[in-house]
Amino acid sequence: MSWIDEAKKRAAAQAVDQVESGMVLGIGSGTTTAEAIKIIGKKLEDGQLRDIKGVPTSYHSIQEAVKARIPLTTLDEYPRLDLGIDGADQIDPHLNAIKGHGGAMLREKIVAASCRRYILIVDETKLTDTLGTSQEVFLEVHPFAITPALKKIIEMGAKATVRQAAYKLGPVITDNGNNLVDALFGPIEDPRELNGRLHSVQGLIETGLFIGYADTAYVGTEFEVKQLKPES
């Protein structure tokens, strides 16, 4: 097992230490969050936690939570969540993030906005001084709008492509029935401004720019876990 895998597990464990009995959790997607789900499930099994409910953000997180025997619920039942735990593809010093490589950013952002507290868990390779440095921004686009939306995204200066499936012909389809666009803008000096411009594109449903949601990040390194707070 690589040090990165171990770092993810350590970061996940630190985040799960913030979970208390009786909480309703936002359950993110991805490999690091899957580790947190397993730890929560083990703590429920051992009696260290009780009366936990989770709102999953993807079919993947549903499957992981079911395997861990975490009871699931919905935002209809619990529109305000106690705590959210999720991974990220890139994090800057303000704890702004790029997410969505797994294609779940629409539901992830809805859940993030519903959380009283929102924690990101990553290994240290995901840290950057400036978002977008060697990292695409992931965009969810309605299929009806894919051609004009892609044209507008490229006009904004991005190298952008519609993501194609690896084991089937045609584009990747999200859990919501939409397409994914991977857009490389390069270093993004003002993520909030870019996020606003992208949302002006008709048919572009959501971006992978998560601005101002996280209050804490746990970052696994080769030997320890660092707790980060947003820089002012």
Q: Catalytic amino acids?
A: 108
* Alpha-carbon gap, residue 118 to 216, rounded angstroms: 7
CB 54 within 8 A of CB 112: no
CA nearest 156: which of 143, 171, 144, 139?
Answer: 139
Nearest to residue 180, comparing CAs of 213, 153, 212?
153
Strand order in the sheet with 97-98: 90-91, 97-98, 209-210
Distance, CA of 223 to CA of 58 (rounded, Å): 31
If one counts every other C-beta atom within 10 angstroms of the C-beta of residue 163, the result is 18
Query: What single DSSP character describes residue 46?
Result: H
